[in-house]
Amino acid sequence: MLYGGNDKHLFSAFQRNGKFNEFLFSTGSPPRGDCLNASSTPSVLTVVLNYRTPELAIKAVEAALREMEGLAGSITVVDNDSRDGSFESLSLAAQERGWTRVRVLQSGHNGGYGAGNNFGIRQGLPDGSAPDYVYILNSDAFPEAGAIRLLLEYLEEHPQVGFAGSRLHGDDGAHHQTAFRFPTVFSEFESAAATGPISRIFRSYIVALPEPLEVQTVDWIAGASLMVRHDVFVDTAGFDERFFLYFEETDLCLRARRAGWQSVYVPQSRVMHIGSVSTGMKTWKRMPSFWFDSRLWYFTKNHGATYAAVATLAYVAGSLIFKLRQVFGKRGNQPHHFVGDLISHALRAWKRQLVGSNSNMAK
- For 303-362, how does the pLDDT look when each residue is reduced to its tens digit (9 = 90+)? 999 999 999 999 999 999 998 887 776 666 666 789 999 999 999 988 876 545 544 444
Q: How far is 329 from 336, CA to CA, in rounded Å?
A: 19
- Do residues 228 and 134 make contact, with C-beta atoms less than 8 angstroms apart? yes
Q: What is the pTM of this model?
A: 0.85
- Do residues 228 and 42 make contact, with C-beta atoms less than 8 angstroms apart? no
- For 219-249, how does the pLDDT look when each residue is reduced to its tens digit (9 = 90+)? 999 999 999 999 999 899 999 999 999 999 9
Ramachandran class of 124: left when φ > 0, alpha when ψ lies in -120 to 50, beta otherwise: left
AA identity, residue 228:
V
Q: Which residue has the higher pLDDT, 360 or 28?
A: 360
How confident is the model at residue 261, as a pLDDT? 97
Rounded average pLDDT over 4-33: 35
Ramachandran class of 132: left when φ > 0, alpha when ψ lies in -120 to 50, beta otherwise: alpha
Beta bridge partners of 2: none
Strand-pair category, 179-180 with 225-229: unpaired
The fraction of the chain above a pLDDT of 90, given in percent, is 77
How confident is the model at residue 241, as a pLDDT? 98
Going from the C-alpha of 228 to that of each of 163, 335, 336, the distances in angstroms are 5, 33, 36
- For 252-264, how does the pLDDT look when each residue is reduced to its tens digit (9 = 90+)? 999 999 999 999 9
Beta bridge partners of 48: 77, 137
How confident is the model at residue 281, as a pLDDT? 58
Q: Which residue has the higher pLDDT, 67 or 1?
A: 67
How confident is the model at residue 150, as a pLDDT? 98
- For 130-167, how does the pLDDT look when each residue is reduced to its tens digit (9 = 90+)? 999 999 999 999 999 999 999 999 999 999 999 999 99
Residue 35, Cβ density class (10 Å: 0-12 exposed, 13-18 middle, ≥19 buried): buried
